[in-house]
Amino acid sequence: MRLDILYRGPLASCNYGCAYCPFGKRKDTREQLATDRAAWERFVERVASLPADDQIGVLVTPWGEALIRRWYQDGLARLSQLPQITRVAAQTNLSGPLDWIAAAHPDRLALWCTYHPEWTTLADFLAQTARLDAMGVSYSVGVVGQREYAEAARALRAALPPATYVWINAVKALAYTADELAAWEAIDPLFRINAQRWPSQGAACGAGQRAITVDGDGTMRRCHFIKDPIGNFYDASWRAALVPRACTNVDCHCHIGYVHLDYLELDKVFATGLLERVPVPEARRAAGVRLPVLPA
Ligand code: SF4
Ligand code: SF4
């Protein structure tokens, strides 16, 4: 069985304080952290119990920052060593220690790193990405497409090796001018994919069949954007929930969702880097790869 699992536990806190984020500088209590740890460790045990010939991808999509917590570091390292794991990845602000990666399988671990120029320096962030390079870990880096971050995003792009992909998350509430679109696209050749709301109602989507979300108590949903549960990961019958489904939302505009929309064929753009958002080399240059366009 081939399945990607997006895990989001009860954690809801972060060491950074981005103004637009509800988790900025929020603190979990000791009890809440203990609950989060127990939920994550239960999840890791469950994945570890799956057959060795399954092909499981895991992406941790926390509310807040998970990789400053030892239990996530240890769990990611352990998952990466399992034969049934094809990729284990996490979204992170990359502020935490990276020494735990020494215990991980570098070919299976990957990180989705967001650069927050108001909370770290470019030099400190680049020191962290250089460590990932030295350890052979796949990663993407990116910046939220706020106008005030444009200069920092350009500086990041210029400082990183050309082969390192830099994504820009389009802020859908902003009406970018044509010049702004071109400027963001000069940093991220795939920016227009993310800047689009892709029509999805009634469309075939792998979410719920090839990919699911699992929360701290095991509740399975097809994706983070449709709240109806489809099963529980800790029930013996959980695999029966993995069936084809058409999307019930009007549109889909987040990478972790629309990459599963069949008609976009983004598996050809991202291939094995789908979870950590690393496109194939041709797409990093937007050359030689057919990119999706809005249906007529
Ligand atoms: S780093 Fe991420 S989780 Fe933390 S405050 Fe900023 S946007 Fe929110
Ligand atoms: S298109 Fe997006 S919202 Fe619809 S099922 Fe797929 S991932 Fe979920």
CATH number at residue 90: 3.20.20
Q: Which residue has the least CA distance to atom 6 on ligand 1? A: 18
Q: Which domain holds residue 6?
A: 2-160+207-238+267-279
Which atom of ligand 2 sits closest to the CA of residue 245?
Answer: 5
Q: Is the pLDDT of residue 277 over 80?
A: yes
> Mean pLDDT over residues 7-24, rounded?
93
Share of the chain above pLDDT 90, in %: 92
Is 169 a member of any domain?
no
Q: Which atom of ligand 1 is nearest to the CA of 144?
A: 7
Q: What pLDDT shows up at residue 23?
A: 87
Question: How much is the pLDDT for 291?
Answer: 84
Ligand 2: list residues with CB < 6 Å.
Answer: 200, 205, 207, 222-223, 225-226, 247, 249, 252, 257-258, 260-261
Question: Does residue 223 sit in helix, strand or coil?
Answer: strand
**Would 177 be classed as within a structural domain?**
no
Tell me if 9 is assigned to some domain. yes
On whether residue 174 sits in a domain, the answer given is: no
Ligand 2 geometric centre to CA of 183 (Å): 29
Q: Kindly state whether residue 290 falls inside one of the protein's structural domains.
A: no
Total domains, the chain: 1
Whether 193 is covered by a domain: the verdict is no
pLDDT at 296 over 80: no
Asked whether residue 223 carries a pLDDT value surpassing 90, the answer given is: yes
Distance 161 CA to ligand 2 centre (A): 33
Name the residue among 131, 138, 114 with its Cα closest to residue 64. 114
Contact 178/237 with Cβ under 8 angstroms? no
User: Does the pLDDT value for residue 283 go beyond 90?
Assistant: no
Going by C-alpha positions, the residue among 104, 237, 255, 239 that lies closest to residue 165 is: 255
Report residue 190's pLDDT band, with 50, 70 and 90 as the boundaries. very high
- With a 6 Å cutoff on the Cβ, whether 212 touches ligand 1 is no
Cα 235 to chain center, whole Å?
A: 26
Per-residue tokens: 203: 């469309």
The number of the ligand nearest the C-alpha atom of 23 reads: 1
16 touches ligand 1 (CB under 6 Å): yes
Residue 73 lies in a domain: yes
Residue 207 DSSP one-character state? B
Residue 282: per-residue pLDDT: 86
The tens digit of pLDDT for each residue in 30-86 reads 999 999 999 999 999 999 999 999 999 999 999 999 999 999 999 999 999 999 999
Element (H, E) at 48: helix 30-48
CB 59 within 8 A of CB 7: yes
Q: What is the 98 CA–ligand 2 centroid distance (Å)?
A: 33
Whether residue 24 has pLDDT greater than 90: no
**Average pLDDT of the segment spanning 247-256:** 97
Q: Give the mean pLDDT of the chain.
A: 96
174 CA distance to ligand 1 centroid (A)?
19
